Structure 1
């Protein structure tokens, strides 16, 4: 269908540009650029909003596509919930898995369309976690569709994603492997593994730590960026790793974990360090998340207080009394963490 007069048009500019799409309108017989965009969908959303603002109506017969719904939802959701960067990345990846639906009107999509995407992911061997994130994104988008009064059903609860069969089951570190880490503590990167094993931090939390988040005098670390709300917490510094933290605090860079030039690690770069350390202590096959499983297991074996353990690991409590009315101070958390030997 041809756009009406005054609707403007979108052009793709030549050359290597950061924002190659431009929305233009005709002004006194000449085309005037209004705004530039990095992708076509953002330009189309702006075009529709521009027409509505200036002509006080939507384009007749216009149906919001899945891509438009996503790009309208994401800024609002980000503003309301302020998700972490890892969460935003997971939204982006899940959205790409739904690429076959991008150009389809949301109102025309049915259960079979969404289930087909899920089935294709499972057929290609993608992990249970990846499939679950796609279903979660579908649910968030269709809830938003209801908010903006699109006539559609939230099919997410009906989608079948199969059973969780871990591709790489987690294994705890044995005492022998932990002892070997201490034996090679002066080797590059070994201290970071020990920090994970004596704090229970997620790898991403450790890599995002700034030196300003470390309080050596009071001997605790403040986690300010995490994948969950419960992950925002304080962790006492175990006396075994105090020298390791002090050494990192004296190294170049603003982040706690940096290379010799002061450049912070992202997860991809750190994985190379991790694999080198694991090979050095004959522990190939372990993942960074095994450290959290090890901490949880060792604290459980030592009879640690369950609430204190949850606070240290950043797990949300399931019981309302525990979540709302139970408070653990730093001294009690330190008593818990020191149960690690």
Structure 2
């Protein structure tokens, strides 16, 4: 499978499946020895490492902010949202008065969070709130986007700015820019929806919206 070009993540899933089957076979005495632990799948070499979106390209996005879909890319770049999190946002999840976004659907438990809206994208989100449909990110008819359909829109935006990036490059960019600006590490993790590695941090550290806002405003 590895020689045929199967990805590292797919190889891990195959190895996990073999391991589960062998565990059952051991319990029912069908086999007497498990070989899954001996399987070697090599190292994970990302097919396309994430790249930081340059300031020049971010400025190009702002220059074309009135074109379809460009505002959604800017929202990703000033929130650190995963693309799936943004596409799942309903207008009911946006509090314009508090200038905050509530993420209630995420791939991880740490992803369930509230993050402040950066002042530069506040007008973009307000304009989306006035649009049709219950979802925040919709087409002209008010229909929400599936990830596949949004990728087509993303590619058109990238062509506009002559960029070659994935949606996840936005999160990588936000993390890098905040780190370069010396942002508080705990606040950065809260914004990005990353689980804290330190028990003290997870249990005792609470970052309010005001502190998170100071962190997100490091983005220029």
TM-score by length of 1: 0.60
Aligned to 1:240: 120
Compared CA separation, residues 280 and 132, structure 1 to 2 (3 A):
same
Measured in 1, the distance between the counterparts of 2:102 and 2:34 equals: 39
Flag structure 1 segments of 5+ consecutive residues without an equivalent: 1-119
Compared CA separation, residues 135 and 317, structure 1 to 2 (3 A):
farther
2:184 is equivalent to residue 308 of structure 1 = no
**Please, which of 200, 204, 220 is the counterpart of residue 80 of structure 2?**
200
Contact in 1 for aligned 2:129/2:136 (Cα 8 Å): yes
Structure of larger gyration radius: 1
Structure 1 residues 288-297 or 228-237, which shifts more?
228-237
- The SS at the match of 1:131 is helix
Contact in 2 for aligned 1:142/1:154 (Cα 8 Å): no
Aligned to 1:339: 218
2:71 is equivalent to residue 191 of structure 1 = yes
2:151 is equivalent to residue 271 of structure 1 = yes
Measured in 2, the distance between the counterparts of 1:228 and 1:240 equals: 27
Q: Deviations over 1:276-335 (max 9, x none)?
A: 00010011x200000000000000000000000011111111111111111111111111
Flag structure 2 segments of 5+ consecutive residues without an equivalent: none
Shift of 1:271: 0.4
Contact in 2 for aligned 1:222/1:233 (Cα 8 Å): yes
- The SS at the match of 1:273 is helix
TM-score by length of 2: 0.91
Contact in 2 for aligned 1:198/1:241 (Cα 8 Å): yes
Q: Deviations over 1:115-137 (max 9, x none)?
A: xxxxx1x2221222232344455
Cα RMSD (Å)? 2.0
Aligned to 1:287: 166
Shift of 1:253: 1.0
Shift of 1:160: 2.2
- The SS at the match of 2:207 is coil
Equivalent pairs, count: 217
